Amino acid sequence: MMNSAVISDKKFRVTALAGGVGGAKLAAGLAACLPPSKLTVIVNIGDDFDHLGLRICPDLDTVCYALAGIANPATGWGRADESWHAYEEIVNLGGAGWFRLGDRDLATHIIRTNRLRQGEESLSMITNDLCGMWGVDLTVLPASDDPIPTQVYTEEGILQFQEYFVEKKCIPKVREFRFLGIDHARPAPGVIPAIRAADMVVICPSNPWVSIDPILAIPGISDEIRQKDVIAVSPIIAGETIKGPAAKMYRELGIVPSALAVAQHYIGLLSGFIFDMADGALENDIKNMGLCTYKTNTVMLTEHDRQKLAQEVIEFGIHMKAN
Amino acid sequence: MMNSAVISDKKFRVTALAGGVGGAKLAAGLAACLPPSKLTVIVNIGDDFDHLGLRICPDLDTVCYALAGIANPATGWGRADESWHAYEEIVNLGGAGWFRLGDRDLATHIIRTNRLRQGEESLSMITNDLCGMWGVDLTVLPASDDPIPTQVYTEEGILQFQEYFVEKKCIPKVREFRFLGIDHARPAPGVIPAIRAADMVVICPSNPWVSIDPILAIPGISDEIRQKDVIAVSPIIAGETIKGPAAKMYRELGIVPSALAVAQHYIGLLSGFIFDMADGALENDIKNMGLCTYKTNTVMLTEHDRQKLAQEVIEFGIHMKAN
């Protein structure tokens, strides 16, 4: 990973919270701006699930593949240069076809599942090891080694997250989210130290309800984050998301989706908030919440976009701390 | 599966015992000669093993793929039109690389492992179901639903079969073979009825030590076979095998490898024996064992070869019974 951007404070240390595609993009941008020893990415595990006997960790893989530069640039998830032969045959053999598994991606699931099942290694240990093999030299941590599967309460009943997200294409209207086992989940080793050591915590532009909330809900994590300078980047731009159901969820929960709503979602945690230029009209409302604000282009279409946004996030944090 | 060959007795019912590549070829030949309801193939499971958390049944898959017409014609095992992307990544991620897993083949292992692990279906039930999806309409039965892993006693110690066969390339000298748990293994449902219903049992040209013996060692199977007309096809031609370590094993066990040695291996079970024209000099010795003999080209290079050999096997059996 080349550090192409120049940051004014070389010792500045960032811990980022990330979910899927949007979070992975900003994480990759941050990785391009910071030395590996100065960046830790804590990743959502609420959407992890078992499929065909394999342990699948969609957000963790999306983040790792993005950081390793092996993500599929078209989809944002899965591997570049992917083939689908195993998946085709799985479907031919009556296996569930609603969750697509690429051939290269499958290797990750097979290796991880086998190592987890042997019972001697935790998800965080395995993730650390896989990252090493992918050439990812910063620290990537699953938020917890304890599963906390997101339960989506919908008009059609309670759905497992991937059922809701992939199988049902986010169509059922949501009412509530719960994370099974959350009361007893422990932060993965390294999570609390990474938050404590951070000069700034960045909440990536991921879904607040189902990507960031599961991380924040793990006992101990919010309390540590609250001690820190925390900047969130809004995943909502002009009332919509680039990808994913966050805006739809806000509406179904009776909240007008907006950058302001995101800032309010994280109320009590944040010191600064970054949102898109398209939402300039909301700036005063956000400032009135007592937050420092920064307005910029937050749409990350290219590698340059994500590095530029990451650099702005870091400089905003450095500037905020200095003032 | 087209029945291109014409058999003189349309009601003739065959049950074949098969191991890997050679057995799969003759089984496919038999399938081309007989209506699906008149053929059952009982397959070795001694070489089944767990690899990367997946249940792999190499002989069962080789036989099923051959019968389904989806086997790799170059290797004799694995799938035609195969790609190796998952395998490449598995190796990149530190997974054991000594056993190659093709992408399409992987689907079989994933589906089977997942269904076995759910605990409601046996290997024979799953095999039956997979065969249906592959369009294999004859009956293929694993010899047992109970694992009986072949232990290869070698000069280097005891090796699991695939360790010996694939990882060590059959180099260690063998002393003995044992099938773990054999005393308590039960024939899979359908195995004993298929033997009882057969007009002839065919022992395919598979390795006597590690492909056929594990089937015969399952309590109850030999006793039933002994009641039947049994024809074996020699896997040894002019003292060597087409593929696999059978001849090497004979030598290491102090036996000169030959068609005669194969006939002697099955002594007490056989009524007839088919061997290659190259071994014409052994005919009298084999006849002197009290066996009917049939000499032909037993090398199956083409589809035509395997159908022709299968037809000769069946006609030899029909002729033998009539006399």
The Cα–Cα gap between B108 and A52 comes to 11
What's the sign of the alpha-carbon dihedral A99, A100, A105, A110? positive
pLDDT at A8: 77
| B269 neighbors B300 (Cβ within 8 angstroms) | no
The Cα–Cα gap between B37 and B46 comes to 26
Torsion angle (degrees, nearest 10) of CA B65, B66, B67, B68: 50
Torsion angle (degrees, nearest 10) of CA A216, A219, A222, A228: -130
Q: Which stretch of DSSP H or E encloses residue A148?
A: none
Which chain B residues are Cβ-neighbours of A110 within 8 angstroms? 52-54, 86, 90, 95
**A130 close contact with B: CB closer than 8 A:** yes
Which chain B residues are Cβ-neighbours of A113 within 8 angstroms? 53
pLDDT at A2: 43
Q: Which residue is closest to A109 within chain B, CA to CA? A: B90
CA-nearest of A153, A199, A143 to A176 is A153
Q: Which stretch of DSSP H or E encloses residue B248?
A: helix B246-252
Does the distance separating the beta carbons of B86 and A86 come in below 8 Å? yes
ipTM exceeding the 0.90 mark: yes
Output the six-digit token pair for B13.
């019912």
pLDDT at A9: 81
Q: How many CB pairs under 8 A join A and B?
A: 95
pLDDT at A189: 98
pLDDT at B6: 66
**B267 close contact with A: CB closer than 8 A:** no
Delimit the domains of chain B by residue range: 14-49+137-322
End-to-end CA, chain A: 31
pLDDT at A1: 41
Q: A152 has which bridge partners?
A: A159, A177
Q: Which stretch of DSSP H or E encloses residue B70?
A: none
The Cα–Cα gap between B226 and B8 comes to 25
Q: B230 CB contacts (<8 Å, ≥6 apart)?
A: B200, B201, B202, B203, B266, B269, B270, B271, B272
Torsion angle (degrees, nearest 10) of CA A12, A17, A19, A22: -40
A150 phi and psi, to 5 degrees?
A: -70, 125
pLDDT at B5: 59
User: 3-state DSSP call for residue A144?
Assistant: strand
Which chain B residues are Cβ-neighbours of A104 within 8 angstroms? 85-86, 88-89
Nearest to A110 among B52, B129, B130 (CB): B52
Per-residue pLDDT of chain B (323 residues; tens, 9 = 90+): 445 556 778 889 999 999 989 999 999 999 999 999 999 999 999 999 999 999 999 999 999 999 999 999 888 889 999 999 999 999 999 999 999 999 999 999 999 999 999 999 999 999 999 999 999 999 999 999 999 999 999 999 999 999 999 999 999 999 999 999 999 999 999 999 999 999 999 999 999 999 999 999 999 999 999 999 999 999 999 999 988 899 999 999 999 999 999 999 999 999 999 999 999 999 999 999 999 999 999 999 999 999 999 999 999 999 998 88
Q: Which residues of chain A fall below pLDDT 70?
A: 1-6
In order of A121, A183, A232, the CA distances from A187 in angstroms are 16, 11, 21
Neighbours of A158 (CB within 10 A): 13
Does the distance separating the beta carbons of A90 and B114 come in below 8 Å? no
How big is the CA angle at B253 (ends B247 and B257), to the nearest 5 degrees? 30
**A288 close contact with B: CB closer than 8 A:** no
User: 3-state DSSP call for residue B312?
Assistant: helix
CATH of B14-49+137-322, one of 3.40.1390.20, 2.140.10.10, 3.40.50.10680, 3.40.1390.30: 3.40.50.10680
Indicate the burial class of A105 (C-beta count within 10 angstroms; 0-12, 13-18, 19 or more).
buried
A226-237 confidence digits (pLDDT tens): 999 999 999 999
B275 phi and psi, to 5 degrees?
A: -145, 170
B55, B106, B116, B130, best to mutate vs chain A, most A CBs in 10 Å = B106
**B74 close contact with A: CB closer than 8 A:** no
User: 3-state DSSP call for residue B200?
Assistant: strand
Q: Which stretch of DSSP H or E encloses residue B321?
A: helix B303-322
**B238 close contact with A: CB closer than 8 A:** no
Q: Architecture of domain A14-48+137-322 in CATH?
A: 3-Layer(aba) Sandwich (3.40)
| B56 neighbors B114 (Cβ within 8 angstroms) | no
Q: How long is chain A?
A: 323
Which chain A residues are Cβ-neighbours of B49 within 8 angstroms? none
The Cα–Cα gap between B125 and B115 comes to 10
What's the sign of the alpha-carbon dihedral B156, B162, B163, B164? positive
| A235 neighbors A206 (Cβ within 8 angstroms) | yes
The Cα–Cα gap between B64 and B84 comes to 20
Which chain A residues are Cβ-neighbours of B92 within 8 angstroms? 107, 133
Token pair 């009524």 in the structure block, residue: B271
Q: B150 has which bridge partners?
A: B179
Does the distance separating the beta carbons of B52 and A129 come in below 8 Å? no
Strands (E), chain B: 14-18, 39-43, 49-51, 54-56, 139-142, 150-154, 157-160, 174-179, 200-203, 230-233, 236-237, 240-241, 272-276, 292-296
| A23 neighbors A63 (Cβ within 8 angstroms) | yes
The Cα–Cα gap between A103 and A14 comes to 34
The Cα–Cα gap between B41 and B159 comes to 28
Minimal CA separation from B95 to chain A, in Å: 7
| A113 neighbors B93 (Cβ within 8 angstroms) | no
| B46 neighbors B148 (Cβ within 8 angstroms) | yes
CA atoms in the 13 A half-sphere facing the CB of B194: 26
The Cα–Cα gap between B133 and A33 comes to 52
**B110 close contact with A: CB closer than 8 A:** yes
Does the distance separating the beta carbons of A133 and B94 come in below 8 Å? yes
Does the distance separating the beta carbons of A88 and B86 come in below 8 Å? no
**B114 close contact with A: CB closer than 8 A:** yes
